[in-house]
Amino acid sequence: MEIGMHVLLLLFAVALVAGFIDAIAGGGGLITIPALLMTGMPPALALGTNKLQACGGSFSASLYFLRQRAVNLAEVWLILLMTFIGASLGTILIQLVDSAIIKKVLPFLILAIGLYFLVSPTLGNEDRQKRISYLGFALSAGLGIGFYDGFFGPGTGSLLSLAFVMLLGFNLTKATAHAKVLNFTSNIASLIFFLIGGQIMWSVGFAMMAGQFIGANLGAKMVLSKGKTLIRPMVVVMSFIMTIKMAYDQGWFS
């Protein structure tokens, strides 16, 4: 299929906005995947192309956080490895089984995350004592959420941020920075297997990747400058929007 220049420019703008939002609170896929499907792409091709463009945003935000020393790779290398393995397994499995069950459960999970941040106004304000070791986090949240991102994906950033706050005691700004680095890792793992399957439209993916790169960099700067005053309300709002969108897609309102 062919995509006109005016459509590419529109998708670039969509990706820029999605990258900005995703760097702060997650949920950018709710914007980019419907936009890709509206071009007439088959679902598998849209998902593969979405992973390519998402890598641009998650890489841009991750690079900014690393340069600002918000993330120490030497401390979290095992978590990154387990996230990569989990995402690889999830991407392989989604091509073999039906994801209908997790689609039905997910709106409740995302809604719970939004409500939890809403009713816990001091959650993540500052670092707290961690509840598990980095090894324990790698084998549980890293592997598990990485698997989920490869298997399905929506809400991964919110899940990772909450896990860092609850299990490792990170403040919300630090948790968001680490979540984005892990999200980039899982995106790369998924992209590899979509690439093997030939499910990527390169012209669209690269155009949107450029938009994602710019938007995510701006969003990452906002995370470190505005911190919890921006992240918390964005996480709550995006959680509610994701819940409504997924519930609508499943026909809850029909």
Indicate the average pLDDT of the chain.
83
Mean pLDDT of 170-190: 91
Q: What is the mean pLDDT of residues 160-180?
A: 89
Give the position of tokens 């820029």: 16
**Bigger pLDDT: 175 vs 128:** 175
Contact call for residues 143 and 202 (beta carbons, < 8 A): no
For residue 79, the model assigns a pLDDT of 96
Q: Return the pLDDT at 162.
A: 85
Q: Cα–Cα distance between 102 and 192 in angstroms, integer? A: 23
Q: pLDDT band for 204, please (50, 70, 90 cuts).
A: very high
pLDDT at 215 over 70: yes
Q: Which of 87, 82, 107 is nearest to 27 (CA)?
A: 107
For the chain, what percent of residues have pLDDT higher than 70?
Answer: 82
Mean pLDDT, rounded, for 245-253: 75
Task: Write down the pLDDT at residue 192.
Answer: 92
Please state, for a pLDDT cut of 90, what percent of the chain lies above it: 33
- pLDDT at 47 > cutoff 90: no
Mean pLDDT on 32-55: 84
Q: What is the mean pLDDT of residues 53-75?
A: 91
Nearest 5°: the CA angle 222, 218, 124 is: 30
Calculate the alpha carbon distances from 162 to 99, 126, 198 in Å. Answer: 23, 14, 34
Q: Is 252 helix (H, G, I), strand (E, B) or coil?
A: coil
Helix (H, G, I), strand (E, B) or coil at 14: helix
